[in-house]
Structure 1
Amino acid sequence: MASYNRVILVGNLTRDPELRYIPSGTAVAEIGLAVNDRVKKGDQWVDETTFVDVTLWSRTAEVANEYLSKGAPVLIEGRLKLDTWEKDGQKRSKLKVIADKMQMLGGRTGGGSGGGGPRGGSDAYSQPAPASSSAGANIPPEDDIPF
C-alpha cells in the first residue's frame, strides 16, 4: 500500500523561533504556528485555531531565527512526525511538522529591518529533502509565473 505524508500550513508564529545547534553543527529551530479555520456553527461563522509545533533545519532554521518573530505570517510545507516518550511512568506523544520548505509572507514591517529579500519577505527557503523522500514539483516564485 502506498503512503503519502505531506502537509502545507499557512499561519502566524505564536512565539519567536528558538534556535539551537546540534553537536554536528546543524541548526535546528522550533516554532509554534497558529492556523485558523472558519467553520459554521449554527447561524454564525466562527474561527477555530489549531496550534502546531514545527521543526526547521539547517539554513531554513537560521533564516527563520533571523527574520521571523511572534505574529509573523508564514507558509510551511513538510511532513507529519509523531514523537513519543515516557515521563513519570506515563507514555506521552505529540504530533508535529518537520518542515522542508518555509515561505515568509507579508511585506516588511515599520522598523526598516527584517522581511528579507528584494520582494519584501516573500522569498522561499528550503532545505534538501531526506534521501528517502521523492522530490516534489518546485513552484516558481510569484514573478516567474507566466500569467
Structure 2
Amino acid sequence: MNKVILIGRLTREPDTRYSQGDDSMMITRYTLAVDRARKKEGEATADFIRCVAFGRQAEFAGKYFRQGTKVAVCGRIQTGSYVNREGNKVYTTDIVVESQEFAESKRMADGNQGQQEPPVSGMPVDADGFMTMPDGIDEELPFN
C-alpha cells in the first residue's frame, strides 16, 4: 500500500501549468513545510515535501492555495529520475495528490486568532472557542 497523509504549510505560491497535447490537463505543484514530531535541541524542524496535483485537484490548489496556507494532503509517493543539463542523474520524490483540503479556518490563517467569532446562539464563548453552559440549564434539557 502506498498512502501518505500530510499536514503542512505552503512554502510559496503554487506553480500551475498545463500539459502539452490535444487533451491538455492542469498540473499544479507546490511544496509543503511539514513539522517533524521531534525537535532538535529545542528548535522546530520541518521537512519540505514536493506535491503535484492533476486535473480538478490542480485547479482547486491553483485557485485557492497561497503561500502560508495550512493544508491537509492525502496521496501517494512517486519516485522518478532524470538527467540534468550537466549530465548528472537526479532522483525525485513527489507526493501525487489524491485529495486535499484546508487545515485551518480563513480567520485563523488571516491572523485574527485573538478575536472570537460571535456565538451563533448568543451564549458566551470561552478562550478556546467553546460555549459556556449557563447554570441551571440541566432542567431544560430533554435528556439526562
Q: CA separation in 2, counterparts of 1:47 and 1:72?
A: 18
Instruction: Write the deviation string for residues 53-112 of structure 1: whole angstroms up to 9, x where unpaired.
Output: 0001111111111111000000011111112011222111011111101111212255xx
Tell me the equivalent position of 2:87: 89
Task: From the superposition, tell whether residues 10 and 85 of structure 1 become closer, same or farther in structure 2 (CA, over 3 Å).
Answer: same
SS of residue matched to 2:100: strand
2:11 equivalent to 1:14: yes
Over alpha carbons, which structure has the higher Rg?
2
Answer yes or no: is the 8 Å Cα contact 1:19–1:28 preserved in 2.
yes
TM alignment of 1:19-98, pairs within 5 A: 19-23=16-20, 24-41=23-40, 44-87=41-84, 88-98=86-96
Tell me the equivalent position of 2:103: 105
Q: Which runs of 5+ in 1 are unaligned?
A: 111-147
TM-score (norm 2): 0.67
Q: CA separation in 1, counterparts of 2:61 and 2:87?
A: 36
Tell me the equivalent position of 1:129: none
CA RMSD of aligned residues (A): 1.5
Structure 1 counterpart of 2:57, which letter? T
Structure 1 counterpart of 2:77, which letter? L
Structure 1 counterpart of 2:27, which letter? V
Answer yes or no: is the 8 Å Cα contact 2:39–2:45 preserved in 1.
no
Worse-matched range after superposition: 82-91 or 49-58: 82-91
Instruction: Write the deviation string for residues 112-133 of structure 1: whole angstroms up to 9, x where unpaired.
Output: xxxxxxxxxxxxxxxxxxxxxx
Cα offset for 1:35? 0.1
Q: CA separation in 1, counterparts of 2:3 and 2:39?
A: 27
Aligned residue-pair number: 105
Answer yes or no: is the 8 Å Cα contact 1:29–1:57 preserved in 2.
yes
Structure 1 counterpart of 2:28, which letter? A
Question: Equivalent pairs: percent with the same residue?
Answer: 27
Cα offset for 1:46? 3.3
